[in-house]
Amino acid sequence: MAKINARTKKNIIFITALVLAAAVFITSAVMLVLRLLPDTYDYDRFKTVTTDKVIQVGEKGENPIDFEKLQNHNSDVCAWIMVDGTEIDYPVLRPGSDADNEFYLNHNLDKEKQIAGSIYMEKGNSADFSDPNTVIYGHNMLNGSMFAALKKFRNADFFKENKYIYIFVPGHVYKYHIISAFVYDDRHILNSFNCYIAAGMEAYVEACINPASLVKNVRQLTVNTDDKLITLSTCTSKKKERYLVVAKLIEDIETK
C-alpha cells in the first residue's frame, strides 16, 4: 500500500478544513436569510376583530380572538399577546405533556419546525396566568417579528409613551402596566426566583425596579409582593444576555 507523504496529508487537511468552513458559512448564511425573511403567517384568521381595537376598561365587549377556532387548530394555545406601540400581536403557546419545555422555541403554530418558533411559556407556568410571575419567551428576529420589537423599549421616549401589554384569554383580557425594561443575564428566572414566597417575590421585584444594568428604563410604580407580573424575555446580540420587559396586572376585563 502506498504511503501518504506529509505534503499530501497537509493538502487533505487543508481541503477538509476548507469544506467544513464553507459548510459553516453556507449554513450561517441560510439561517441569516431565514431570520431576515418577512413573517407571512396569517394570524389574523384567528381574530374576530383587530386587536388594536382593545376592549376598554369596564366594558364587557367582544373578545377579538376566536379561541375556539385557534384551540381547535392547536390545543397548546393558551392566550394571545399584544404590546403597545409594537408589532407584537401573536398567540401564546404552552407545550403539551408530550413535548419538552422548549418545543416552541423552534416550532410554529402548526407544530412545524421553523427558526422563528413561537411566542411561548414553559410548563413551569400555569396556562391561566394565575402565577405570581409568568415568563413569556420569543426570539429577537432580525426581520422584526416575534419579540424583536421589545428592543424599542430601550428608547426612553418610547418607554414613556407605550405603557401597556394586553393578554387575551377566553372570557377575559388582562391589562398589564409596564414597570421596567432592562438587560439582564441569561439565568432561568423561574428557577432563580421563587415568587410563590414573599422573599423570592421581593428579590425579583427589586431586580426589576432597580436593575443593575446600564441599559434600563423604569417606571415609578408601586409593586407589591401580591401583584401578578408577566416577564417578556428575548435574546440580545450577546450570548449570555437577555432583554426583559416586566409588567404588573392592573385590570381584568371580562369579555363575551
DSSP one-letter string for the chain: -PPPPHHHHHHHHHHHHHHHHHHHHHHHHHHHHHHHS-----GGGGBSS-TTSPPPTT-----SB-HHHHHHH-TTEEEEEEETTSS-EEEEE---TTS-TTGGGSB-TTS-B-TT--EE--TTS-TTS-SSEEEEE--B-TTS-BTGGGGGGGSHHHHHH--EEEEEETTEEEEEEEEEEEEEE---HHHH--TTSHHHHHHHHHHHHS-SSSSEEE------TTS-EEEEEEE-SSTTEEEEEEEEEEEEEE--
pLDDT tens string 61-97:
788 999 999 999 999 999 999 999 999 999 999 999 8
Asked if residue 28 and residue 115 are part of one domain, the reply reads no
For the chain, give the number of residues.
256
Predicted confidence at residue 6, as pLDDT, reads: 62
- Is residue 237 within 8 Å of residue 215, measured between CB atoms? no
Asked if residue 142 and residue 82 are part of one domain, the reply reads yes
Asked if residue 157 and residue 32 are part of one domain, the reply reads no
Asked if residue 100 and residue 8 are part of one domain, the reply reads no
pLDDT tens string 181-233:
999 999 999 999 999 999 999 999 999 999 999 999 999 999 999 999 999 99
Asked if residue 105 and residue 23 are part of one domain, the reply reads no
57 has a pLDDT exceeding 80? no
Strands 89-93 and 77-83: antiparallel
Asked if residue 18 and residue 93 are part of one domain, the reply reads no
Domain that holds residue 74: 43-254
pTM: 0.83
For residue 215, count CB atoms less than 10 angstroms from its CB and return exposed for 0-12, middle for 13-18, buried for 19 or more.
middle
Going by pLDDT thresholds of 50, 70 and 90, the confidence category of residue 28 is very low
Could you give the CA distance from residue 122 to residue 171 in angstroms, rounded to a whole number?
A: 22
Could you count the other beta carbons within 10 Å of the beta carbon of residue 59? 10
Predicted confidence at residue 30, as pLDDT, reads: 41
Could you give the CA distance from residue 182 to residue 242 in angstroms, rounded to a whole number?
A: 8
Asked if residue 31 and residue 129 are part of one domain, the reply reads no
Q: Which residues contact 23 (CB under 8 A, 6 or more apart)?
A: none
Asked if residue 6 and residue 94 are part of one domain, the reply reads no
Asked if residue 220 and residue 144 are part of one domain, the reply reads yes
39 has a pLDDT exceeding 60? no
pLDDT tens string 147-177:
999 999 999 999 999 999 999 999 999 999 9
The dihedral over CA atoms of 151, 157, 90, 201, expressed in degrees to the nearest 10, equals: 80
- Between 25 and 96, residue with greater pLDDT: 96
| CATH number of the domain enclosing 139 | 2.40.260.10
Going by pLDDT thresholds of 50, 70 and 90, the confidence category of residue 32 is very low
Q: Total domain count for the chain?
A: 2
Asked if residue 105 and residue 178 are part of one domain, the reply reads yes
Asked if residue 66 and residue 14 are part of one domain, the reply reads no
